[in-house]
Amino acid sequence: MELLTQASVLSRFGYAVSDATRARILLALSEAPAYPSDLADALGVSRQSISNHLACLRGCGLVVAVQDGRRSRYELADARLGHAIKDLIGVVLAVDPACCAPDGECVA
């Protein structure tokens, strides 16, 4: 296990939220812990897709799996992530449409 700080943490977070499904998972988990099947149903994606995205988020150190009997419940690895996510979604951005596509990809 490697501990990351500052720029490395931001880089991992940026990679994690660069995918819309992973971003939606983090938003959901910022509200409450959840089981993968419930996340799949709520987000309208396959359970296999949720499983793959959760593995990525675990690898990035953003979520943890908590054993609950025979099931695993997922939650944010640090409560401060929930606060950060809520702060970020409150930010209003003034973007140059010639520079960035609606999905955030730079087209320049």
Which one is the CATH code of 7-89: 1.10.150.530, 1.10.10.10, 3.10.20.740, 3.30.470.10? 1.10.10.10
Rounded to 5°, angle at Cα 47 from 41 and 50? 90
**Is the pLDDT confidence value at 104 over 90?**
no
pLDDT value for 108: 58
- The domain segmentation of the chain, as residue ranges, is 7-89
Predicted TM-score of the model (pTM): 0.81
- Between CA 57 and CA 54 the distance in angstroms is 5
* Residue where the block lists tokens 């054993």: 67
pLDDT tens for each residue of 26-66: 999 999 999 999 999 999 999 999 999 999 999 989 999 99
| Residue 2 pLDDT level (bands cut at 50, 70, 90) | low
pLDDT value for 26: 96
pLDDT value for 107: 64
pLDDT value for 49: 97
